[in-house]
Structure 1
Amino acid sequence: MSNTPVIAAVDGSEHSLRALEWARKEAVRHDCGLLVAHVLPDHAQLYAGRRASLHDASAPEEVPDPVRDWVRSLLGAGGPGLPEGVAYEALEGSVPEALRVIGSQARMLVMGSRGRGGFASLLLGSISRAVASSAACPVVVVPHAERGAAAGSTGSADDSDTGAEQSAGRVVVGLHAAETPDDVLTFAFTEAAVRGTTVQVVSAYAIPPTPNLVIDTPFAVIPPEGLADEGDGVPAEREMLRSQTERLAPLRERFADVPVEQAAVPGDPAGRLVIASRAAALVVVGRHHPRRTAMSLAIGSVAHAVLHHAHGPVAVVPTLKDDV
Structure 2
Amino acid sequence: MSNAPVIAAVDGSEHSLRALEWARKEAVRHDCGLLVAHVLPDHAQLYAGRRASLHDASEPAEFADPVRDWVRSLLGADGPGLPEGVTYEALEGSVPEALRVIGSRARMLVMGSRGRGGFASLLLGSSSRAVASTAACPVVVVPHAERGAADAEAGAEAGAEAGAGAGADDDAEQSAGRVVVGLHAAETPDDVLTFAFTEAAVRGTTVQVVSAYAIPPSPSLVIDSPFAVIPPEGLADEGDGVPAEREMLRSQTERLAPLRERFPDVPVEQAAVPGDPAGRLVIASRAAALVVVGRHHPRRTAMSLAIGSVAHAVLHHAHGPVAVVPTLKDDV
Matched residue SS, 1:15: helix
How many Å apart are 1:267 and its aligned residue?
0.4
| Counterpart Cα distance in 2 of 1:250 and 1:153 | 24
Structure 1 residues 213 and 122, CA, compared in 2 at 3 Å: closer, same or farther?
A: farther
Structure 1's 289 and 95: CA in aligned 2 closer, same or farther, altered over 3 A? farther
Q: Structure 2 regions of 5+ residues with no counterpart? A: 151-161
**Runs of 5+ in structure 1 lacking a partner?**
none
Which residue does the alignment assign to 1:95? 95
Deviation at 1:78, TM superposition (A): 3.8
Q: After superposition, what is the alpha-carbon deviation per residue over 1:41-93, rounded to whole angstroms, capped at 9, x for unaligned?
A: 00000000001111111111122111011001111434321011000000000
| Contact 1:292-1:323 at 8 Å conserved across structures | no
Deviation at residue 255 of structure 1 after TM alignment:
0.1
What is the identity percentage for the equivalent residue pairs of Structure 1 and Structure 2?
94
8 Å Cα contact 2:215-2:231 kept in structure 1:
no
The answer as to 2:235 corresponding to 1:227 is yes
- Secondary structure, counterpart of 1:77 in structure 2: coil
- The SS at the match of 1:158 is coil
| Residue 248 (structure 2) aligns with | 240
Q: Distance in 2 between matches of 1:86 and 1:220?
A: 56
Whole-angstrom CA distance in 2 between matches of 1:97 and 1:287 = 18
TM-score normalized by structure 2?
0.85
Asked if 1 retains the 8 angstrom alpha-carbon contact of 2:215 and 2:229, the reply is no
Aligned to 1:65: 65
SS in 2 for 1:320: coil
CA distance in 2, matches of 1:56, 1:91: 22
Distance 1:148 1:215, change over 3 A: farther
Q: What is the rounded CA distance, in whole Å, between the counterparts of 1:203 and 1:114 in structure 2?
A: 29
Change in 2 beyond 3 A, CA 1:154/1:67? farther
CA distance in 2, matches of 1:82, 1:218: 61
The alpha-carbon distance between structure 1 residues 49 and 152, as it changes in their structure 2 partners (threshold 3 A), is farther
Distance 1:220 1:97, change over 3 A: farther
1:232 positional shift = 2.6
Distance 1:311 1:76 in 2: 29
CA contact (8 A) 1:134 1:295 kept: no
* TM-score, normalised by the number of residues in structure 1: 0.87
Between the aligned partners of 1:139 and 1:225, the Cα distance in structure 2 is: 39
SS class of match (2:291): strand
Conserved? CA contact 2:187–2:297, under 8 Å: no
CA distance in 1, matches of 2:311, 2:54: 47
Deviation at 1:221, TM superposition (A): 24
Mean CA deviation greater in 290-299 or 32-41: 290-299
Distance 2:228 2:24 in 1: 35
| Residue pair 2:216, 2:229 contacting (<8 A) in 1 also | no
How far the C-alpha of 1:174 sits from its partner, in A, is 0.1
- The superposition leaves residues 232-283 of structure 1 with CA deviations (integer Å, 9 ceiling, x where unpaired) of 3210000000000000000000000000000000000000000000010000
Q: CA distance change for structure 1 residues 3 and 225 in 2, over 3 Å: closer, same or farther?
A: farther
Asked whether the equivalents of residues 219 and 263 of structure 1 are also in contact (C-alpha less than 8 Å), the reply is no
* Structure 1 residues 243 and 216: CA distance shift in structure 2, 3 A: farther
